[in-house]
Amino acid sequence: MNKSNYIRLFANCIPVKGAKNVIVCDIQRSTYFEIDMVLHDILVAHSNKTIEEIIEFYGKEYEDEILNQLDQLQKEELVHLTTENHLFPKLDLTWETPSVITNMIIEYGDYFQEKETEIVNDLIKLGVQYLELRFYVDVSNETLQNILQSIQKTKIVGIYLVLQNFPYEDIDKFLIENQRVMSILLSNATDAEDERYKDYNKISVVKHKIVNNKNCGIICQNSFQVNLDLFTESQQFNSCLNKKLSIIENGDIKNCPSIPEALGNIKETTLTEIFDSKEEDVNKYWNITKDQIEVCKDCEFRYICTDCRAFRESDNIYSKPLKCNYNPYNGKWEDNLRGSK
């Protein structure tokens, strides 16, 4: 290792410091690593020093240890050496979107048939990109096909389905014909269904019946996502509720289905009307970032963890998500998940 060089984390390997631990979020390769505090300081606080100068700062007696650690990071391809430190800027963490609403959750209900055209037109106007379509009752193949057909002309690039039954014989054909369907969650699945779909990475099955939106908001290590979109969006906005809008089974329009406040009912108004007339209520939660939320603000996972404002520890709008059992002050996951089910 040439000691006259600078050592830099690649711009897409970003350290996030918690109360006790530090992780490096590798947003290019979608993973994260824990590193120790001293190493964090070397990479962040001393980033404008050459390796030589860093060793000088800590003392010759630590040279081997420092070089060893840096070598390790280089092998993992988290850092690179350079003589031109100033030519490698940090990643700009601004998050921008052309859409008014990026995510829409629709719970299928009695209102749907009559309002379908109007809803689809609003999906286009609002520039919706992702749609989660939830069915709490069995759905026929015509109904599902019609809906998928009518959203063809929208800007939606990803569709998530929550189903009680899968109304098609030929699942491969369905997935090929409906490329925008990114994932399907099949609730109330039988053992046979579990077996049939186990090799499909787009399909997951659960044995219990999902009958309402109370299942949402569970936070665990498996739910972390390390990617540019979430990382940047959560710097300035709420990582779950920003630019999200939902219609629940009875037609109520809400930010998210599990949040108590309704903004109106689709039988009496439209999505665009709600957005235009009640913008302030619509975006009540949009700007609450993890850096403002109790406990989360001290957690190293805060930019890879999606927030939940519907299920919280207290009435305080800034309180910690209820269904998370991580404690960033001691770095431990507690055994019992509070408040779930």
Partner 1 sequence: MILIISKSEMEDTTNQVMDWLDTFNGDYYRLNGEDFMNKADIINGQIQFESFNSEAITVIWNRRWSSRGLINFENEEYYDALGAKNSSTLLRSLRQENGILRSFLHSKLNSKVWTTRPEKTSANKIKNLEIAKSCNLSVPEYIITSNKYKLSQFAKKHERIICKPISETPFFSSSIENDIVETLILYTKSFTANQIEEEIEDTFFKSLFQQQIIKEFEIRVFYLNDTCYSMAIFSQNDKQTQVDFRNYNDAKPNRTVPFILPKEVEENVKKFCRKAEYNIGSLDLIKSTDGKYYFLEINPVGQFGMVSYPCNYNLEKKLAKYLIDENKKVK
Residues near partner 1, by CB under 8 A:
10-12, 28-29, 77, 80, 84, 86-94, 96, 98-99, 127, 155, 228, 232
Buried/exposed code over 274-307 (b: 16+ C-beta within 10 A; e: otherwise): bbeeeeeebbbbeebbbeebebbbbbbbbbbbbb
Separation in Å, CA 272 to CA 27, 237, 250: 34, 21, 19
If binding is defined by CB under 6 A, does position 258 make contact with ligand SF4? yes
H or E, element range at 158: strand 158-163
Find the largest Cα–Cα distance for the chain: 76
Specify the residue for token string 């431990």. Answer: 332
- What residue 127 binds from ligand SF4, partner 1, none (CB within 5 to 8 A, per partner kind)? partner 1
Residue 144, both tokens: 């599902």
Of 27 and 293, the one with the shorter C-beta distance to partner 1 is 27
Of 96 and 199, the one with the shorter C-beta distance to partner 1 is 96
What is the nearest approach in angstroms of ligand SF4 to the Cβ of residue 238? Answer: 8
List the x/- string, 177-216, binding to ligand SF4 by CB under 6 A. Answer: ---------------------------------------x
Specify which residues 31 forms β-bridges with. Answer: 26
Q: What does the chain come to in residues?
A: 341
Of 146 and 227, the one with the shorter C-beta distance to partner 1 is 227
If binding is defined by CB under 6 A, does position 151 make contact with ligand SF4? no
Q: Which of 24, 256, 274, 322 binds ligand SF4 (CB under 6 A)?
A: 256
If binding is defined by CB under 6 A, does position 248 make contact with ligand SF4? no
If binding is defined by CB under 6 A, does position 308 make contact with ligand SF4? yes
DSSP symbol at 337: P
What is the nearest approach in angstroms of ligand SF4 to the Cβ of residue 121? Answer: 24
Instruction: Kindly report the number of other CB atoms within 10 A of residue 140's CB atom.
Output: 10
Sole window of 36-44, 68-76, 174-182, 307-315 interacting with ligand SF4 (rule: CB under 6 A): 307-315
- What does R_g of the chain's alpha carbons equal in angstroms? 24
Q: Measured between alpha carbons, how far is 121 from 273 in angstroms, rounded to an integer?
A: 12
If binding is defined by CB under 6 A, does position 217 make contact with ligand SF4? yes
Q: Measured between alpha carbons, how far is 16 from 23 in angstroms, rounded to an integer?
A: 5
Contacts to ligand SF4 by CB under 6 A: 216-217, 219, 240-241, 256, 258, 290, 295-296, 299, 301-302, 305, 308-311, 320-321, 324, 326, 328
